[in-house]
Amino acid sequence: MFTLWRDVISTTKSIKVRQIEAFKYFMITGSVTSAAELLHVTQPAASRLLHDLEYRLGFNLFNRTRNKMTPTPEAHIFYREVQNLFIGLDALTKVAESISRNNTGRLRIGFLHVIEDFITDVVIEFLALHPKVNIELEPGGRTSLEEMVKSNKLDMAIIVDPMLDDPALSIETVGTHAAKVIMHIDNPQANKEILTAEDLEHDGFIVLGFGSPFRRKVELAFDKAQIKRNIILEARTQRHLYNLVSRGVGTAILDEFVHVNNKNIVLIPFEPKITWEYSIITLKAKQNSRLIDAFNELVFKRFKSI
């Protein structure tokens, strides 16, 4: 990313921000007229900005035919770098807005979809103590959240079973959860205190999609018991599975974090236990701020109270 910009800047020192903005708006809209409207200039003025940018860069950004302009392959490569530039500018803008509102800082927090309600409670408690802090929340999968922390797009993330040998990350274990069987109240086995793979052999299961680490843990338990599950449906999130069970679609094995008060649902422990660890990950090369430490303290406190 940086090589291209360094080479461009070294040979084209008079590139103007206005030219880059015209190019960005053209790539977004596909129209010089629309780009001009977004820039609040005339169409000829926008065209001149694009022509001047091509001249300064030294290569063609567009193929021009009668009444039509289309981006060249080089334009698409250049646009990817322009997007990265504006992502950085947007981040600076947010920092400036935070300062102008007299906020004392900003926290960018990533979390798994399954703990959305948990994170909501922690954030509410945190903001009551630190009302001038700006918080950005980013739900996602484990791998994507790890990458966002490593690229400094997130200050921290709460995930399960992180890669312990990743040299870029600091990992702090919050606690351990065990799987629960999520079952509709009308299921004949809904009154049992414990359920095993053998008990669930004939239930219709709804499960997470292939590739889910959680699904692999559950499948391993059934494989060891030599039980083949009757899988009737797959979904992308545990929350979606929970809602389907509440409507009588099937049975699921999930994290109890998805549970909300629902009279149609029962949660029953599964044996043998399927467990996983929740951990907070941060960038090892960057020292935690006092805000991260304060937020983490509330995460630990609330997790222990569950």
pLDDT at position 104, please? 60
4 band by pLDDT with thresholds 50, 70 and 90: very low
Domains in the chain: ranges and CATH = 2-98 (1.10.10.10), 103-174+277-305 (3.40.190.10), 176-276 (3.40.190.290)
pLDDT at position 305, please? 83
110, pLDDT greater than 90: yes
**What mean pLDDT do residues 11-16 have?**
62
pLDDT in tens, 233-261: 998 888 899 999 999 999 999 998 888 78
Query: Range with the lowest mean pLDDT among 69-73, 92-96, 168-172?
Result: 92-96
C-beta separation of 32 from 40 below 8 A: no
Q: In 151-251, which residue ranges form alpha helices assigned H by DSSP?
A: 213-224, 238-246
pLDDT in tens, 119-133: 999 999 999 999 889
The average confidence (pLDDT) of the chain is 87
How many whole angstroms separate alpha carbon 175 and alpha carbon 13? 54
pLDDT in tens, 254-274: 998 888 788 999 999 999 999
pLDDT at position 97, please? 59
Query: Range with the lowest mean pLDDT among 6-15, 82-91, 277-286?
Result: 6-15
91 band by pLDDT with thresholds 50, 70 and 90: low
C-beta separation of 144 from 151 below 8 A: no
**pTM of the predicted model over 0.75:** no
52, pLDDT greater than 70: yes
Q: Are strands 265-271 and 156-160 parallel, antiparallel or unpaired?
A: unpaired
pLDDT at position 10, please? 43
pLDDT at position 139, please? 93
